Amino acid sequence: TANKGAESGCYTSTNSSWSGWIARKTWAEPNFINGCLGYSSSKKGTKKFPWNSVDDVPNKYICSKNNPKETAEKNLLSYVYQCEGDNGDEESTDGYKYRGHGWIQLTWKKQYVQFNNWMKTYTPDDFKDVVDNSDLIGEDKTIDAISGMWYWQTRGLNTTADTLKEGCSLKSFETISKKVNSAALDNDKRKEIFDKAIQILK
């Protein structure tokens, strides 16, 4: 069964999410692997994929009747996340294995390694090897919660979050939201949840 706490990569040919993959994805997440998918240091910050529209996307990456979710998702995420963040190439399937998992959607092999090492030191009683089994984040609720805490703590997000007040503007809210999701996806919905949480915690 699919891990409900993991990033989905099943997009039909009419899904609007393709515009994000096609238009926004650049070589941006070190460490990069030179030569992998044609990467060289001169390509940092440039467009990663040769696609200009969904018509350019090979069928093996598109969810369809003949290419079911499990297959299409593994193919696509292995491709789009390859060669960055210490992930191997497409054939390694690291991109799929180390796709977003958990409350804060931990992504890239390097973050799983960092989190693994942190758990060994700070929460040894709860330690489980997420590099070996990335699906533990999302399936094991304790590990899921600890991964969110790790991300929040190691990036000093409390300092920023503590500046937010009840009734703050969306722009102010984004100062913290973009540190978690740099693409600022669904920030209006995140703000609604934040406002509701404030009322509950008052």
The half-sphere exposure of 39 on its side-chain side, counting CA atoms within 13 A, is 23
Q: Tokens 């910050």 sit at which residue? A: 45
Burial call 182-198: b when 16+ CB within 10 Å, e when fewer: eeeeebeebbeebeeee
Taking the domains of the chain in order of start, what are their residue ranges?
A: 18-97, 109-154, 159-201
Token duo for residue 120? 């060994």
What does the DSSP assignment read for 150-161?
A: HHHHHTTHHHHH
135-170 pLDDT, tens digit each: 999 899 999 999 999 988 888 888 887 887 777 777
Q: What pTM did the predictor assign?
A: 0.83
Residue 188 has pLDDT above 80, yes or no: no
> Which of 6-10, 11-15, 55-59, 192-196 has the lowest average pLDDT?
192-196
Closest by CA position to 13, among listed 67, 80, 91 = 67
**Percent of the chain at pLDDT above 90?**
50
- Cα–Cα distances in Å, from 127 out to 55, 124, 131, 147, 151? 45, 5, 12, 11, 16
User: How far out from the chain centre does Cα 102 lie?
Assistant: 9
Helix (H) / strand (E) containing 194: helix 187-201
- Confidence at residue 1, expressed as pLDDT on a 0 to 100 scale: 42
